[in-house]
Amino acid sequence: MPVLRIEHPITDFDTWKSAFDRFASARASANVRGHRIHRPLDDSTYVMIDLDFDEVEEAERFLGFLQAQVWSSPEASPGLGGAPSTRIIALEEAWAG
């Protein structure tokens, strides 16, 4: 399963999360199968988001949407505190003990 991993600084988590939630229908339309939001314990002004897809091409298309329609507009991305870093990754191994 391809995962679009996004990392970036934020100015305020509640503001950022509200904007993230407003794009729920866009994620559903793009076939995002699930998401996880992580925050470093020692940095409340940073987020890491994993978006799950069935196909790499879906992740690439959604990344293009984010770059062109969301991150390029301060109105669409309040709380964004810096340029996002992205990668499309795949799980190689998992262990739960």
Dihedral of CA atoms 59, 84, 27, 75 in degrees, nearest 10, equals: -140
Average pLDDT over residues 64-70: 96
H/E segment holding residue 90: strand 85-90
Domains, in order of start, for the chain: 2-90 (3.30.70.100)
What's the pLDDT band for 84 if we cut at 50, 70, 90? Answer: very high
Note whether 86 and 5 are within 8 A (CB): yes
Longest dimension (CA), the chain: 44
Q: What is the pTM of this model?
A: 0.93
pLDDT tens profile 4-52: 999 999 999 999 999 999 999 999 999 999 999 999 999 999 999 999 9
pLDDT confidence band for 88 (50 / 70 / 90): very high
Cα torsion 4, 9, 25, 14 to 10°: value is 140
